Amino acid sequence: MRTSATIWFEPEGRKIDTEFGVTILEASREAGVYIRSECGGKGICGKCRVIVKEQKYLNDLMDAEKKHLTNYEIGLGYRLACCAVVKGHVVVEVPVESRVGDQRIQILGFEGAVRLSPCVKKIFVRLSKPTLADIKPDVERLLDYLNEIHNLSGLEVDYHVLKSLPAILRKANWDITVSIWNNKEIIAVEEGDTSNVSYGFAVDIGTSKIAGYLVNLTTGQVVSAGFVENPQLVLGEDIISRLNYAMKRKSGLNELQKLAVEGVKSALIDACKEAGVNPNNVYEITLVGNTAMHHFFLAIHPNYLALSPFVPAVKRSLDIKARIFNMGINPHGYIHILPIIAGFVGADAVADVLATGIHETDDLSLLVDIGTNTEIFVGNSEDLLSCSCASGPAFEGMHIKHGMKAITGAIERVNITSDFEVEYVTIGDTKPSGLCGSAMVDAVAAMFKRGLIDNKGRFNWQVETMRLKKEENEAEFVIAWGHETATGKEITVTQKDIREIQLAKAAIYAGCSVIMRRKNVSWKDLDRIFVAGAFGNSINLENAIVLGLIPDVPLEKVKFVGNTALAGAKMALLSEDARREADVISKKVRYLELAADPTFDDEFFKATYIPHADLNRFPSVGSILRDSTGKVFKQS
């Protein structure tokens, strides 16, 4: 009889084999997945919430769970990890709010497995002391040793490190640890054996947020995460306004750069503090971002990127001394900036491909990284085509009346019952303050399913419910009444909010349609759809299809992969192979300029309908509608 089972933790895809009888919380620690628990696993704090959709190999709900979880949450598969005991293979989804580290935001992403071979290697060396009979100079003594013992030839020594070498050698009695970058250059020398004190920082500069992992380079483990709002937000909410800022003001570019660097630095410092790591022991940063962020960070003028023919300054990956940016890590370490693909398909997109591995398989994949700017890829190992579309920040909670980021207090899931009552889940299990992107997807889809809005997104005033009303001439639907919320004010979805969501999802769907037509493939040919970006894995897939955000394919083909941009940056931090792979991706992926495609406008217009003007493209939505109301909505 079997007594051991495999537990998968999503979205990392990390798995561990464990004995029957352990709790999910215990298994998670063994797997290196860190789930919050303030009571130490006693069922008291209720913080260790996880989602298990298929619960046949778990024990029944315990009282503690019934106390901490709502019925709606229980219906969604929520459990407390400290109460759920394993008795077979289980897939566990760890929601954002239950993660140790930064609980506010989804910064984890699916990533491919890599062989641990970081670009920075630390080696402990014991040198013989010079004598009158052996007057070999210090640098040659060290380099000859590294050549003879470690087969490292042709190494250079950073000038600043070279200056410090003689004193350190003697202070350390000739036992030192050297940090070698890219098998090329000695970037640090330290007294004694510090070979296991080696860290790197992988960071994604998003238009709205900057998120990074602090990674132990000797184990490959993430030790902490850092997250800040992109400080550039004060100079413009979206890329276009920041490009304008850079182009219209003399010091604009320098301001944008300074803010980007400050943002990365503050994410780094947070992560170092949390993990108790000395920033001087961080030797490398791998950095991704869209092409505009890439140019801003590098202080490269984006004039020519913003104007036709939209030419970036540089495509290849770059390695720049950290001290040039006063980056806050070891000054003689490096920043590795991943390569970009084209005008608006940046290093973040290269990292998406790297993390999902869609360039390595024969399967035909569609990859959509949803953000203020959405990047789309279609193809396989033979050929990959990419494009980019401006989808706006609605899915990140911006331009939405009660929108907010997916932080504590944000409603992240919404359901509307057949009698128009509303059920919702709030991040952090607190009183709600607003709606994040995934809640907007749920809300709009649910309103459509319940007939509260028609396929053009207009409110249906024939539905009788107190929740549908006009306030100061603005039509809205109430998600949470004032007495339920943190602010005491109602949280609603307005007519204008619905329009914003329609425009955003239409841009994304139209981008997918055009690129697939160019690639000459149809939805049916797709083997996999990867959805990356802000939503993480908290989006409800069925609702996304109802909304017409993603195409109507069998659910099992769709995989939410979270922040694959950051995951790809982490792979490049841990693996020289992954870094080379990124360079290959950058060169190999073809680029399609959507603006130049004559069919885009028409596709966009048709995609503003819910789910789409052409319902044949969404056969499953028709059936859902019939299930919920008994008849197909009138297509006005």
Binding site for a second copy (CB under 8 A): 130-132, 134-140, 157, 159, 162-163, 165-167, 170, 298-301, 303-304, 308-316, 318, 320, 324, 342-343, 591, 593, 596
- Shortest Cβ 591–a second copy spacing (Å): 8
- Amino acid identity for residue 215 in this structure: V
C-beta of 141 vs 570, nearer to a second copy: 141
3-state helix, strand, coil in the chain (%, to 5): 35, 25, 40
- Shortest Cβ 311–a second copy spacing (Å): 5
C-beta of 274 vs 576, nearer to a second copy: 576
C-beta of 159 vs 466, nearer to a second copy: 159
C-beta of 82 vs 341, nearer to a second copy: 341
CB distance 264 to 203 below 8 Å? yes
Token pair in block for residue 232 = 């550039």
Sign of the CA dihedral with 600 first, then 602, 605, and 609 last: negative
CB distance 239 to 327 below 8 Å? no
- Give the whole-angstrom CA distance, residue 563 versus residue 337: 17
- Give the whole-angstrom CA distance, residue 64 versus residue 72: 16
- Shortest Cβ 131–a second copy spacing (Å): 6
- Give the whole-angstrom CA distance, residue 317 versus residue 373: 21
- Shortest Cβ 190–a second copy spacing (Å): 17
- Shortest Cβ 340–a second copy spacing (Å): 8
C-beta of 46 vs 302, nearer to a second copy: 302
- Amino acid identity for residue 386 in this structure: S
C-beta of 14 vs 590, nearer to a second copy: 590
Q: E strand or H helix at 273, and its extent?
A: helix 252-275
How many residues comprise the chain?
Answer: 636
- In the block, tokens 């219906």 appear at 75
- Shortest Cβ 557–a second copy spacing (Å): 33
- Give the whole-angstrom CA distance, residue 247 versus residue 203: 26
Smallest CA-to-CA distance from 288 within 359, 332, 351 is with 351
C-beta of 34 vs 304, nearer to a second copy: 304
C-beta of 135 vs 466, nearer to a second copy: 135
CB distance 253 to 313 below 8 Å? no
Phi then psi for residue 331, to 5 deg, are: -60, -20
- Shortest Cβ 296–a second copy spacing (Å): 12
C-beta of 163 vs 626, nearer to a second copy: 163
- Shortest Cβ 132–a second copy spacing (Å): 4
- Shortest Cβ 160–a second copy spacing (Å): 8
CB neighbours of residue 615 within 10 Å:
18
Measure the CA angle with vertex 204, ends 30 and 186; round to 5°: 80
CB neighbours of residue 277 within 10 Å:
19
Query: What is the DSSP secondary-structure string of 301-362?
Result: --HHHHSTT---S--S-EEEEHHHHT-SS-TTSEEEEPP--BTTB-HHHHHHHHHHTTTS-S
- In the block, tokens 């995609």 appear at 607
Q: E strand or H helix at 293, and its extent?
A: helix 291-298
- Shortest Cβ 373–a second copy spacing (Å): 17
C-beta of 8 vs 591, nearer to a second copy: 591
C-beta of 62 vs 320, nearer to a second copy: 320
- Shortest Cβ 140–a second copy spacing (Å): 5
